[in-house]
Structure 1
Amino acid sequence: MKLEGSCHCGAVRFSLESRHPYPFNLCYCSICRKTAGSGGYAINLSGDFESLEIEGAEHITKYNARIEGDESPAERSFCSRCGSALWLWDPRWPELVHPQAGAIDTPLPAAPERTHLMLGSKPDWVPLHEGPKDQCFDGYPEESIEAWHKRLGLER
């Protein structure tokens, strides 16, 4: 599926191909919470990095989070004008790019399931609305993300 996205002010626009554009992965880690907004979690999609096309790249700034004193190789891209979180790219998986679902303008299909990650980092003020299709992982998944993709037929 071709996805199109943008920042809030319109300075950055992008498109990419995604084989599984389901907004299913809700992360509560402090990096996602603080860089992607105050909703208490971030939803990253998965896409093909080679297909990423960008207009307004001169307005992009990147952030590498510090984890236990070390800089993460994962690059989070933001609009330098309005601060919108756009996508994450990690050189450990160079073929993938993970756009923020909130930056996507294309209507997205509903996720068949949702996965809650890093619940140990969830602040008390953020409610957890678990439904029949939700799975909660607290940093120690009972099912890996790879296994989840395979089980739902979402792998490449």
Structure 2
Amino acid sequence: MLLHLRGSCHCGAVAFEVDSKAPVPFMRCYCSICRKTSGGGGYTVNILGEADTLRVTRGADTIRAYRAVKDKAAAEQVLCQKRYFCPVCASYLWAQADEWPQWVYPYASAIDSELPAPKSTTSIMLGSAAQWADPRELTADNEVFEEYPPYSLEQWHERA
């Protein structure tokens, strides 16, 4: 199913559109980077978008990007994917990884279009979850991983 998604930041300075063949189910990431940069329930929810369909319809010249250091304690510092955000209200919009230039990962929280309800979710990076981010709400139908799962986000969507 191809779904045309519209999204925006909280203040309205930035708006965008992107197509997604996999708008659900959702993968929740509890890593410290996602938790600290985008807030929410102690995790972020990214969906899979087609990079060549991403179109910024308002505020393209204002968008900023942030690249977190994956492990600050490591001798060699590796940067994570770019996380794009509105500099006016600080809303996170989407992420994009150098390794997979064909995809963008819109934050579900930035999507204004109706998204289908997921039949299940996958929670990753629970080893980094804050104590107050309570993943116990997860049911037996959901997959849970202490770190990254043994498959890519694209493979995960293909399995669903």
Task: Give the TM-score, by structure 2 length.
Answer: 0.88
Match of 1:49 in 2: 51
Q: Which has the higher strand share?
A: 2
Residue equivalent to 2:95? 88
Specify the SS of the correspondent of 1:44: strand
Which of residues 110, 135, 138 is equivalent to 1:130? 138
Query: Could you tell me how far apart the structure 1 residues matched to 2:11 and 2:141 are?
Result: 35
Superposed displacement of residue 119, structure 1: 0.3
TM-score by length of 1: 0.90
Q: Deviations over 1:104-149 (max 9, x none)?
A: 00000011210010001111111111123211011153x5245433
Q: Does 1:115 align with 2:117?
A: no
SS in 1 for 2:122: strand
Mapping for residues 52-71 of structure 1, pairs under 5 Å: 52-54=54-56, 55-69=58-72, 70-71=77-78
Contact 1:74/1:91 (CA < 8 Å) preserved in 2?
Answer: yes
Q: How many percent of aligned residue pairs carry the same amino acid?
A: 44
1:73 deviates by 4.9
Q: Which runs of 5+ in 1 are unaligned?
A: none
Write the letter of the residue equivalent to 2:146: D
Number of aligned pairs? 151
Query: Within 5 A, what are the aligned runs for 1:13-32?
Result: 13-32=15-34
Whole-angstrom CA distance in 2 between matches of 1:150 and 1:23:
10
> Which contiguous aligned blocks of 4+ residues in structure 1 show a shift greater than 4 angstroms?
none
Flag the 1:67–1:140 CA change in 2: closer, same or farther, 3 A: closer
